[in-house]
Amino acid sequence: MPYKKLFSPAKIANLELKNRIVMPAMGCSFAESSGEAGPRIIKYYAERAKGGTGLIITEITRIDDETGVGTPNQLAVTKPFVIGQLSRLVEAVHAYDTKLFVQLHHPGNQTPSRLIGGRQPVSASDVTCKIIGEQPRALTTEEVEEMVKKFVTGAVIAQKAGVDGVEIHGAHGYLVSQFLSPHTNKRTDKYGGSFEGRMRFATEIIMGIRTYCGPRFPIGIRMNGSDYLDDGITEEEAIAQAKYFEKLGVCYINVSCGTYDSGSTIIEPNFFQEGWKKHLAANIRKEVSIPVIAVCNIKHPSVAEQLLEEGVTDFVGIARGNLADPEWGNKAKRGEDRLIRKCLGCMECFRILNDGLPLGCTLNPVLGREFEWGDDQLVKNGDGRTVAVIGGGPAGFEAALTLRKRGFRVVLFEAKDRIGGTVALAAVPPCKAMLGELIDTMEAQLEQAGVEVRLGAPATVEAVRETGAEAVFMAAGGRPIVPTIPGIEKAITAEDVLADKAKVSGDAVIIGGGVTGLETAETLGKDHKVTVVEMLDKVGGNLYPSITMHLAQEIVKAGGSIAKGKQLVSVTDEGVTVKGTKTGEKTAIPAQTVIFAMGVRPNRPEYEAFKDAFDNRLILVGDTARPGQIFDALHSGHDRAFVYGT
């Protein structure tokens, strides 16, 4: 076993865990609208238990239906009727010798009024969360006392369902954290003022749970090692709070950091390094004798093992790693690191959740759909029949893998000397190395599945027919959009720049402020002055705001600029001419190199010939069907292959 520390048993209170992998709470919105644990969320957690996780902590679980809603389909422990279904979730997780804690949560001022029936959000004080932008009202002393009871009631309901323990969410700027932090707690009653006053809300919750659930029922707390706010919880105060919680009898401390107002410190985008905040957990662990769980943006099992060996933590929190690959634990235990789909830090999961939809993942097209689209739902009727896949990008890869799982013989044609498609280009900009690892994983998974990959082999009708294929999945990607305007022959594409097929000289103008345009600008910024021109009033497209902000800051920091609301008119010897989309006013932007990053259109090589040869058994997937991101390509390839021939 390559990771002995990671897979050694350990205890939290009276519970022995089979390993030190913890799946910390993440809002997923997979529960029923009633707050019950339905088949969707049960299957979601069961797959992570099956995948080798030692302890699962449920998503943010609602304790208050009036002001405490975190997501539209949030797990709840507010009424006794949820006990039955919650017990089924417990049984599904326990079947794999995995323990289950319920996290008790209230968002406080970090919930919009639209989620709570138009009511005004509540908080410790009337301090507004800048991200939500709605001023809360301070809970009265009597209301705080009632809120304590709701947390305790939630714990009692969870215990009756058979969970192994509860975790109080006292981090990330949510309600308990709002009482703990001087940034949000300006109260003058018994729940504010001094250190002890700010600790009182959490103290009463812990003591109440202990009273009603008994001395042996495990209670943990998730807390901030730092708010990363000037007037918030500091690293020194966090240590004092941790020591205080230990005296209260909590059985572990789950160390995280940040609030909505300190943004990406909670959920790190791709430009944060693995282990960047390990000092927060390490400093607390030195001062307490109870176990510490640390979330440190861990992607690789080797990093998890190193943190354990260094004494940073007792347990490692593998959060988004378990979203991207529910088999993270089992693959790590077998030493199959290359087969793990490692989180990219693309933030697509939380962009989707923030849009009011259930959680999704770029790399895992089955996430949240395990009940309907999981491997155990595959119709395995391939019987060795041959299907050809054209293109080894994400869509072709996922289609080939899914078809192979269904029992088809799959022959994948890739014109280049390596699979990956445009993922290889997307891996070139700074902080995108995980995409390079994705290609390694794609290769390993295809090899393990037994897919026949033909590299340097452009697909022709004759070549495909020779395989005996009954159908063709065309995943040939997209072709860069190049508009028909005066001087277009003077420009080059971002794809050619990233592939090092075209040279950039002097100042550059990039037409298109989507992900490709911004990342190309960041890549070139160290050697060139770059101007990004975008026709819309915003850049970044559907990128998560923190990533867009980072890219824009890096471009400006390097001396570049971004011109929004500008439409390209022509390319000249001196640069480009643009006009304002609202004013129509034309201006010139000087540059020696003009680069197009305006997206792609479907690439369909020999489409008519393949259509004639295979009739209705030609299936288009990925950008070949409809241009999109890696998320769209993997989902497209999976879903079309999942239903083919059923």
* Residues marked as catalytic: 174
* Long-range contacts of the stretch 483-489 (C-beta < 8 A, 24+): 483/568, 483/596, 483/598, 485/568, 485/569, 485/570, 485/571, 486/570, 486/571, 487/570, 487/571, 487/572, 487/573, 488/571
Q: For residue 345, what is the DSSP state? A: -
The secondary structure of 435-471, three-state, reads HHHHHHHHHHHHHHHCCEEEECCCCCHHHHHHCCCCE
| C-alpha distance from residue 448 to each of 52, 253, 394, 594, 595 (Å) | 20, 39, 17, 43, 40
Helix, strand, coil percentages (3-state) for the chain, rounded to 5, are 35, 20, 45
Angle at alpha carbon of residue 490, lines to 487 and 491, rounded to 5°: 105
**Nearest Cα to 590, choosing from 515, 506, 524?**
506
- Ramachandran category for residue 106: left, alpha or beta (phi over 0 → left; psi -120 to 50 → alpha): beta
Q: Is residue 453 within 8 Å of residue 401, measured between CB atoms?
A: no
What is the token pair recorded at 338? 């290359």
Q: For residue 501, what is the DSSP state? A: S
Length of the chain: 646
Other C-beta atoms lying within 10 Å of the C-beta of residue 13: 18
State which amino acid sits at residue 8: S
Strand duo 586-590 + 492-493: pairing: unpaired
CA 299 to chain centroid: 12
What is the token pair recorded at 506? 């002097």
What is the H or E stretch that residue 424 is in? helix 423-426
Q: For residue 63, what is the DSSP state? A: S
Q: What distance in Å separates the CA atoms of residue 316 and residue 292, rounded to the nearest whole number?
A: 9
The dihedrals phi and psi of 48, each to the nearest 5 degrees, come to: -75, -35
> 58 by DSSP, 3-state: which?
coil
Q: What distance in Å separates the CA atoms of residue 404 and residue 397, rounded to the nearest whole number?
A: 11
